[in-house]
Amino acid sequence: MAKTSYINVRVEEEDKTRAEEILNELGINTSTAIDMFLKQIILNDGLPFDVKKSRTDFSKYEAELAMAIRFPMTGPYPKWFTRIVSLYAKGEIDYEVAVFAANKALGK
C-alpha cells in the first residue's frame, strides 16, 4: 500500500536525538518506527502498552492514618484501608473524613 499521509509532530530535541540514536542501532529509521507503532495500535485496538498515572507515595498517609485509628503500622493493609488512604492522599477527602471512614470500617 502506498504511503500518502503525513504526520507532523513537535517533540523535544533531546528526546528525538536519543530515540534516533537507538533506532539507528536497531537499523530502523524514525518513519519506520512510527509506522510500526501505528500498526501495533491497530493490532491491539489501543496503545501497545499500559498507560497509568504515576503512583503517589502513600506511606506517610498510611502511617498517619494508621496511628490515628490505632491500626498496625505495617502492611499489607486491607483494601478498604488502602482505598481510604488513597482518597485522603489525593485530597479527595480530608483527614477527619479519612479517620471517620477508617473507624467505621473497623466497627468503632
CA–CA gap between residue 83 and residue 106 (Å, rounded): 14
**Distances, alpha carbon 48 to alpha carbons 7, 21, 91, in Å:** 19, 22, 32
Q: What is the pLDDT of residue 53?
A: 66
For 8, the enclosing helix (H) or strand (E) is none
Distance, in Å, from the CA atom of 97 to the CA atom of 88, rounded to the nearest integer, reads 8
- Other Cβ atoms within 10 Å of 78 Cβ, number: 12
CA-based nearest residue to 106, from 77, 75, 74, 81: 81
Residue 5: the pLDDT is: 92
pLDDT lower than 50: segments of the chain: none
C-alpha cell at 5: 499521509
Residue-level pLDDT at 49: 86
Is pTM, for the whole model, over 0.75?
Answer: no
